[in-house]
């Protein structure tokens, strides 16, 4: 048997064992032994076993679907039936299975996967936000239409609201445009908006999650019963859960609730620029090299270049902590202190990002990740063009509290910068290391303790020279 075909069977077998279809595997092996003996040849047992494995798996899938009506969509059941028929047609002539490899590849093509997008209008689809649900759906929708191994339809969950007397989902599905959060940019016809999150994920093998991190647990609790056991997820969430009890990344939270593999995506990605197809880069953190190839095929375009790294947590840390730095940059803009001062704040903030990540995760984070698009590039972009910077600038100019500015400037959209600043401070204060993070501490005090913005410079003379060797000088 062709080595590539054999390896694909072995990998598939491992995957099915992971999701618990043991009965199907055992049934397949029994059928395989019978097939092999009937063929009466040296390699008949191997070929028969592999064929029987597929038969047993398909039978178990159909059996499981019947036991849980509504979980597996009709279109998937039809594909299983087609796959079953295709397996039955595999030629085993002359005991050699000469066409087995070609037939197996044809069978695998019949198992297409589905994509779903989880988004929430509260932040993910604002045109000036980071990579939003609508912008991501625009990219993924265009890509899956060209990929043979994916279903054409991409479902995007939209928090229903009325726009000019019409439901937003109806507008998206008829006019193929999110007129409220990404106006002027057409969505592919295969992107379908649904108002129910469980409908978006049902039957999907690849789930992309885009919403403010403070709402994630509620959403996960809603959809977890509708997730396929062989699904995987991609988090585009810019936030981390930090408290005096420790740190939880969004991928860890998603994995813990949904029990599926989770990757992360972050980068210098202002959504309206992406929608205008201006060249940019992004970073995907994915531990499984094969799965990374799949995720890259979903997102990569000539104008949206994707680089994959194995450092999932590092990508997440960069995506969350850069928003705190952007708040500091906005304070500098509000004070009118110019580019030299702003550059200094960006540099110090970037080093404190790295220091905090190393302190929490230690060797679990790769130093090189900070030089990817998710790291240095995203810090620069967010500190010059992001909403967190803009809000912080207005905070200094007007003296209004952040929540009020969110209502006035962003229609109530929730930003992550000052929220993450509060979470970061809770953690470093509980560890007794606030003096090692003077910029993050100053930003917190300005946001939450009414310290004047010019106090951002207090205590910034910190030595970062040992951070490449140890988490921080004396932690």
Question: Could you give the residue numbers annotated as active site?
Answer: 322
> Where would I find the beta strands (DSSP E) of 289-426?
304-309
Please state the φ and ψ torsions of residue 153, each to the nearest 5 degrees.
-80, 135
For 184, counting Cβ atoms within 10 Å of its Cβ (0-12 exposed, 13-18 middle, 19+ buried), the class is exposed
28 vs 5: CA distance, rounded Å: 17
Measure CA 427 to chain center: 25
How do strand 246-249 and strand 240-243 relate by DSSP bridges? Answer: antiparallel
422 vs 420: CA distance, rounded Å: 5
Q: Which residues pair with 280 in a beta bridge?
A: 304
129 vs 127: CA distance, rounded Å: 6
What are the structure tokens assigned to 225, written together?
Answer: 């019963």
Radius of gyration of the chain (CA): 25
What are the structure tokens assigned to 21, written together?
Answer: 């279809």
Alpha helices in 213-288 (DSSP H): 216-223, 250-258, 271-275
Select from 276, 288, 302 the least CA-distant residue to 143. Answer: 302
Select from 371, 379, 248 the least CA-distant residue to 322. Answer: 379
């Amino acid at each position: 048997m062709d080595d590539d075909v054999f390896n694909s069977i072995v990998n598939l077998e491992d995957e099915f064992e992971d999701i618990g279809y043991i009965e199907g595997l055992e049934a397949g092996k029994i059928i395989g032994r019978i097939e092999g003996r009937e063929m009466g040849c040296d390699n008949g047992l191997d070929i028969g076993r592999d064929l029987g494995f597929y038969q047993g798996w398909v039978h178990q899938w159909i059996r499981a679907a019947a036991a849980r009506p509504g979980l597996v969509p009709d279109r998937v059941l039809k594909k299983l039936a087609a796959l079953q028929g295709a397996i039955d047609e595999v030629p085993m002539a002359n005991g050699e299975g000469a066409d087995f490899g070609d037939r197996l590849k044809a069978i695998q093509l019949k198992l297409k996967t589905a994509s779903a997008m989880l988004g929430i209008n509260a932040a993910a689809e604002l045109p000036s936000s980071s990579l939003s649900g609508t912008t991501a759906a625009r990219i993924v929708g265009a890509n899956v239409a060209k990929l043979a191994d994916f279903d054409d339809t991409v479902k995007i969950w939209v928090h229903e609201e009325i726009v000019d007397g019409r439901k937003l989902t109806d507008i998206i599905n008829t006019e193929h445009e999110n007129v409220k959060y990404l106006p002027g940019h057409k969505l592919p016809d295969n992107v379908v908006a649904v108002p129910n999150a469980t409908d978006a994920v049902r039957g999907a093998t690849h789930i992309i999650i885009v919403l403010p991190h403070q709402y994630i647990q509620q959403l996960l609790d809603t959809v977890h019963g509708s997730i396929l056991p062989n699904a995987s997820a991609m988090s585009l969430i810019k936030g981390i859960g930090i408290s005096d009890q420790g740190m939880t990344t969004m991928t860890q939270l998603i994995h813990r609730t949904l029990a599926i593999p989770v990757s992360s995506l972050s980068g210098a990605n202002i959504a309206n620029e992406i929608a205008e197809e201006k060249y940019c880069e992004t970073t995907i953190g994915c531990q499984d090299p094969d799965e990374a190839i799949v995720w890259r095929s979903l997102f990569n375009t000539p104008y949206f270049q994707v680089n994959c790294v194995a450092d999932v947590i590092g990508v997440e840390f960069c995506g969350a902590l850069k928003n705190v730095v952007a708040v500091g940059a906005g304070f500098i803009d509000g004070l009118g202190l110019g580019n030299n001062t702003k550059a200094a704040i960006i540099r110090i903030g970037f080093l404190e990002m790295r220091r905090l990540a190393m302190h929490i995760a230690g060797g679990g984070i790769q130093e090189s990740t900070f030089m990817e698009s998710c790291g240095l590039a995203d810090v620069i972009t967010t500190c010059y063009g992001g909403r967190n910077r803009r809000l912080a600038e207005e905070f200094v100019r007007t003296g209004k509290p952040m929540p009020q500015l969110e209502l006035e400037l962003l229609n109530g959209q929730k930003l992550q910068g000052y929220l993450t600043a509060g979470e970061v401070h809770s953690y470093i204060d509980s560890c007794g290391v606030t003096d090692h993070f003077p910029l993050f501490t100053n930003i917190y005090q300005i946001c939450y303790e009414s310290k004047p913005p010019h106090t951002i410079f207090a205590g910034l003379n910190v030595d970062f020279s040992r951070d490449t060797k140890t988490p921080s000088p004396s932690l």
